[in-house]
Amino acid sequence: MIDRENGIPYYRQVMDLVEEQIAAKVFKEGDQLPSETELSGVYGVNRHTIRQALGELCRSGVVYRVKGRGTFIAKRPLNCIEYKLTPKNRFSENILEIGGIPSCRVLKSSQMAAPDQIAELLRLEPGEQVYYFEILRMVNGHPFLISYNFAPVRRVPGMLERLQGLRSLFVVYQEHYGIALTREKTTVHASFPSAPEAVCLQIPTNMPVLKVESVLKDQGNQCIQYTSSCYRGDLVKLDVGW
């Protein structure tokens, strides 16, 4: 309980108590914390103190908030990963190389007319059909990046069906289409996540992320895929080797 005589700010004591309960597995990864009102009653402090404590825990990555739903216990943090970005690197190979466990989940997939910017980047005719798919990639079960991908339907027919049980896009391209992807161009910039990205990556919206945009081509130098990826800024150190 809160010690009112030791001079430590109440919000800091609440933070310590929550972290102790996480260590004791009273609260487990993914669990939703009680409401601010309930925690106020449990710890015997006002809601402002609880809100301040949860805000600090959120900033340190111990918990994360989902608007309209509440506050949740984050997965145990990973060490920062030195992630290689080369013309032919693959996510799974990168993570296995450092002893991690890679996994992924397709969040969305559809077919559409290429937006003007995508058509220009992939050198397509205006309105040409493309596949669009979002992929959440994880390391040891921790969200690591979200990628947004566009590929021309005429070059990779049936791509969406081949995303079921996806492990490696590079393998899909190689085995089903005979395409060995390489990066033609990549740009990197710092940003903040959108609200949906923050929820998927389990981070606050004020935590910086790295946005990496790439155009990938085949052996014949034809553009095959545009990818925009959003990496957790607290988990990645990009090692660019061209």
Q: Looking at the whole model, is its pTM more than 0.75?
A: no
- Does residue 26 or residue 60 have the better pLDDT? 26
* DSSP codes of every residue in the chain: ---SSS---HHHHHHHHHHHHHHTTSS-TTPBPPPHHHHHHHHTS-HHHHHHHHHHHHHTTSEEEETTTEEEEPPPPPPPEEEEE-TT--HHHHHHHTT--EEEEEEEEEEEEPPHHHHHHTT--TT-EEEEEEEEEEETTEEEEEEEEEEETTTSTTTGGGGTT-S-HHHHHHHHH----EEEEEEEEEE---HHHHHHHT--TTS-EEEEEEEEE-TTS-EEEEEEEEEETTTEEEEE--
Q: Mean pLDDT across the chain, nearest whole number?
A: 88
Q: Is 147 helix (H, G, I), strand (E, B) or coil?
A: strand
Determine what percent of the chain is predicted with pLDDT higher than 90: 46
User: Residue 199's closest CA among 110, 82, 107?
Assistant: 107
Range in 83-97, 103-117, 174-188 with the lowest mean pLDDT? 83-97
Query: pLDDT digits over 183-236, tens only?
Result: 888 899 999 999 999 989 988 888 899 999 999 999 989 999 999 999 999 888
Domains and CATH numbers, the chain: 10-73 (1.10.10.10), 81-240 (3.40.1410.10)
**Which pLDDT score is estimated for 206?**
86
**Which pLDDT score is estimated for 170?**
84
Section 18-27 average pLDDT: 86
Strands 209-217 and 129-139: unpaired
Residues facing 81 on adjacent strands: 236
**Which pLDDT score is estimated for 76?**
64
